[in-house]
Structure formats: C-alpha cells, structure tokens
Amino acid sequence: MSAENGKTGSPDTPAGPRPEPLRFYGTTWVHHDNGYTARRIGLAVGSLAAAAAACFVLRIAYQGLQIADIGSFVSLLMIVMFAICSALAFRHTWSAFGTRPDPDRQSSLRGLLAIGFVGSLLAYFFRTLTEAPGEKLHRAEYEKAREEYEKRATRRSGNPSKKRRRR
C-alpha cells in the first residue's frame, strides 16, 4: 500500500509535472530503475534481430525478382530504392530522438519510412546502445517543466490568509 500524507488522504506523489512515458520504458528512464538496463539490452538485441530478419526478407524478395528474370535495371532500381529510403528513414528517426518531429512532415513521410523500415530499426538499435530512444529530449523537457514549477511554487509558498497585513 502507498503511504498517505494525512491531510487530503491522497498518496504521496510528488507535486508538479509528471514525466512523459517512453514506449517500452514507461517512466523508468527518469531514475533508471525497475529494469531499465535490461529493457535497453533487450530492445537493442530485438531491434537488431528485427533489422536482420527484415534484410533476410528483402533478400528473398530480391531472389524472387532474379528468378522472375525481369532484368538487371529493375533489380538495381529496387536495391537503390531500398538503400536510399533506408538512409532517409535512419536520418529521420535519428533526428526524431532529439527534437519533436513536425506532425505534418511525419505524415507525409509515412510511405518513405515504411519502405526504409530497416534504417529506422538500425537507428533505434544504435540509440538504444547509449540511452532509451528519446530519453535526452524527454529529460530536457521534464527538467525544464520541473524548474518552471519550482519557480512558481516558491513564489506562492505559504498560506496567503495567514500573512500579516502591512499598515
């Protein structure tokens, strides 16, 4: 059971802004507790395995094109298309971990990100090696919100009805 503060009967939760949960991590990124390291390791291995499986599926698709004997131009075009889309998806996913992406741009790039999904998986893998993807952005926003809350809370401290009136 949680402790109660005795005044209002509500559980002891810190006042002020709450951290935004990250996908697969929840709010464990704040204090790096409750299996944070295990999640990072598991997600790094999982994203790398998913990228390897995706490359295997793309190889099978390429072999299907070779068996169909559609020509070297189309085969080359497919390789170049997946390489470019994967590179663009990697760059977009990597930059999205540091800044909030524009929703309109995000929706317009949905098709490109779907084609270049291998790049997105690799970006997720490499970011997971250093931190939870998006942790730095969320931590900066959370700390800024906490600082602003602390400024407001210290200005308003005390019960205004108990203040002495100046004469």
Quick: pLDDT tens for 3-31. Answer: 444 455 445 566 788 888 888 888 888 88
* CA distances, 43 to each of 128, 135, 163 (Å): 7, 14, 55
The phi, psi pair for 11, rounded to 5°, reads -65, 155
Read off the DSSP letter of residue 54. H
Q: How confident is the model at residue 16, as a pLDDT?
A: 82
Tally: H helices and E strands in the chain: 6, 0
Locate tokens 């390291």: which residue? 37
Instruction: Give every residue of the chain whose pLDDT is below 50, as ranges.
Output: 1-6, 9-10
Q: How confident is the model at residue 5, as a pLDDT?
A: 45
Q: How confident is the model at residue 167, as a pLDDT?
A: 64
> Which residues, including other chains, have CB under 8 Å from residue 39's CB and lie 6 or more apart?
24, 25, 28, 132
Q: How confident is the model at residue 93, as a pLDDT?
A: 93
Q: How confident is the model at residue 163, as a pLDDT?
A: 63
The phi, psi pair for 18, rounded to 5°, reads -105, 145
| Dist CA 62 CA 31 (whole Å) | 45
Q: How confident is the model at residue 150, as a pLDDT?
A: 86
